Structures are given as structure tokens and as C-alpha cells.
Amino acid sequence: MATTHFADRLADAVERKRSQLVVGLDPLPDHLPVELRGEVHTGREEAAAACERFCRGLVDAVAPYVVAVKPQVAFFEALGADGIRALEDVCAYSRAAGLQVIADGKRGDIGSTARAYATAFLEGDPPLADALTVNPYLGRDSIEPFLAACRRHGAGIFCVVKTSNAGGAEIQDLALTDGKTVWQHVARLVQEWGEDLLGEHGLSAVGAVIGATHPRAVGEARRLLPRSILLLPGVGAQGATPADVARAFTSGPASALVNVSRDVIYAFRVSGMEWRSAAAAEASRYAREVWSVSGW
């Protein structure tokens, strides 16, 4: 019987596949393979259908090498109601393939709005996703509905703490009166929020997004968040390498996840290979490299 705790489901998959790789699903109609691009400019319905076929093909290709996919909600929302239907189908297809689904929506609001976001993404039978990225910069009351979904539905969340983009430093690196930075203070809050949501593997359902483009911050985040799963974007197209995130894994093989998006899903644009084969080859390579540097 499947475990009901997000971190335990993830840890089981990591150990079974010897992989900590997540592939981001960021479908752009203009970047699709030629065979799928034919009618994307006809309308949103056609574009959404092509993006859905693209993501399904990617799931088939990378499933042996990854433990999760991370659909970026914005790319689907850009295609209106048809895009949302495509997102729902891609999430269901990914879960049927045995993958965890991390919806990348970076939702964050207060009161009934946060409650609605939690319902939309993390509740239901089955829920749309296993986990959701959330924005904690509105404070605990904005996060509590998501924590409730973790308790009641076995969901997971990844709080945005230190982002991979250069502009994030304008806020996240500001020094507080105690000498700590804003992001370090948020990391401490995330640690507190997840203390009572530990699974059997000792990992919390409350994780953190830490940009792999900041290797020193990755190490500091690991120290501040010893029980949180770190979701590490920025490897590949944004310039970080698997070696930059090695210290993230000191809390166990499943204590960090490396997300790669463009380098995998659009690998065919560089290699000239058939698009599914190209994605599979890159996913396999990244999975091996990350597992190697993780030390497990």
C-alpha cells in the first residue's frame, strides 16, 4: 500500500530509481517539435492540445530516470481554459506513470484565498498534484491552509526561500538587525512550520526552493533546514551544475531534488535527435550525475 506522506512517497521513489531528478514541464508552443507545431497558431485549443501531447511524450521518455515532474502552471494558464484542461490531463498522466507531480504555481495569499489555492491543487480525489510551490512572504497565515492540506491529504509544499534569479537578491539578501538575511529568516520559519510534519524517513512535507545558482546558499540552507527537502532549480540552462548542489544531500539521498527543465525537454533543439530520445538521454545523464555527486 502506498504511503500517505509526501516525503515518504518521494524517498521511496528516490531509493528505488537511484535518482533525485525532477524534470520541469515548461511547454512553449513555438518551441515544440515540428511534428506537433503544425496548428499551434490556429488557436488556444490547438496549442493546448499540442502542448499536452508534448508533455505526455516527455513523461513517457523520462519516467525511468526521474522521480517527479514539475509542470510550470503559468505556461498552461497562458492558453486559457484549454490550457488548464491540458494541465489537468498532464498531471493525471504523470501520476499514472508513477511520478510525483510538483505543481509550480508559487501561490501565496491570505485567508479564504489561500484555502482555495490549497483546495485547487492539493485536495480532491485524486488531487491535481502531490505538492505545490508556495510563496511564504505573506507570513504564516498565508501558509496555514497548505499545511492543513499536508496534514489531512498527504500533500507536500515547497516554500520559495532563495531563488535562482539575480534580482531575488534585492529582497532576499537584505540584512536584518541580527545580521541574518531575509531569506535566512524565512528559512527558519519554514523549519518551524514543518517540524510536526515529518514522515517515517525523517523528512518533512514542508520543503524549500533554493536556487542552485547560489552554491553557498545551498549549503547554508541545508544547515538551517536539516529535515526539509530542498528543491533546487537552476541546473542546466541557468548555469548551475550538479557539483554545485552536492552539499544539499547531507540529510539523506532524498533530502534534495534537482530540477532541470529546458536542457531536457528541448534537448532535441541542440542535439538534432528525435525529441523523446533526446529528452530521455539528457534525463538519464543528469540523473546519473546528480546521484554521483550526492554521495549516496
Instruction: Report the sign of the C-alpha dihedral through residues 15, 63, 120, 125, in that order.
Output: negative
In this predicted structure, what is the pLDDT of residue 230?
98
* φ, ψ for residue 5, nearest 5 deg: -95, 130
What is the widest separation between alpha-carbon atoms in the chain?
Answer: 57
Q: What domain range is 130 assigned to?
A: 6-290
Is residue 1, in this structure, part of any structural domain at all?
Answer: no
Is residue 210, in this structure, part of any structural domain at all?
Answer: yes
Domain CATH number, residue 131: 3.20.20.70
Is residue 216, in this structure, part of any structural domain at all?
Answer: yes
Q: At what angle do helices 215-224 and 182-193 cross, to 10 degrees?
A: 40
The verdict on whether 180 is a catalytic residue reads no
Cβ–Cβ contacts within 10 Å for residue 104, how many? 26
In this predicted structure, what is the pLDDT of residue 111?
87
What is the residue-level pLDDT of the chain in tens, covering all 296 positions?
345 899 999 999 999 999 999 999 999 999 999 999 887 788 999 999 999 999 999 999 999 999 999 999 999 999 999 999 999 999 999 999 999 999 999 999 998 999 999 999 999 889 999 999 999 999 999 999 999 999 999 999 999 999 988 899 999 999 999 999 999 999 999 999 999 999 999 999 999 999 999 999 999 999 999 999 999 999 988 888 999 999 999 999 999 999 999 999 999 999 999 999 999 999 999 999 999 999 98
* Distance in angstroms (rounded) separating the CA atoms of residues 243 and 62: 22
In this predicted structure, what is the pLDDT of residue 3?
56
* Distance in angstroms (rounded) separating the CA atoms of residues 13 and 178: 40
Is residue 295, in this structure, part of any structural domain at all?
Answer: no
pLDDT tens-digit map of 147-199: 999 999 999 999 999 998 889 999 999 999 999 999 999 999 999 999 999 99
With residues binned 3-state (H G I as helix, E B as strand, rest as coil), the percentages for the chain, rounded to 5, are: 50, 15, 30
Q: At what angle do helices 182-193 and 140-153 cross, to 10 degrees?
A: 30
Is residue 28, in this structure, part of any structural domain at all?
Answer: yes
Is residue 14, in this structure, part of any structural domain at all?
Answer: yes
Q: Which of 17, 70, 106, 162 is catalytic?
A: 106
Is residue 215, in this structure, part of any structural domain at all?
Answer: yes
* Distance in angstroms (rounded) separating the CA atoms of residues 4 and 177: 41
- Structurally, the chain folds into a number of domains equal to 1
Which grid coordinates belong to 92?
Answer: 493525471
Is residue 193, in this structure, part of any structural domain at all?
Answer: yes
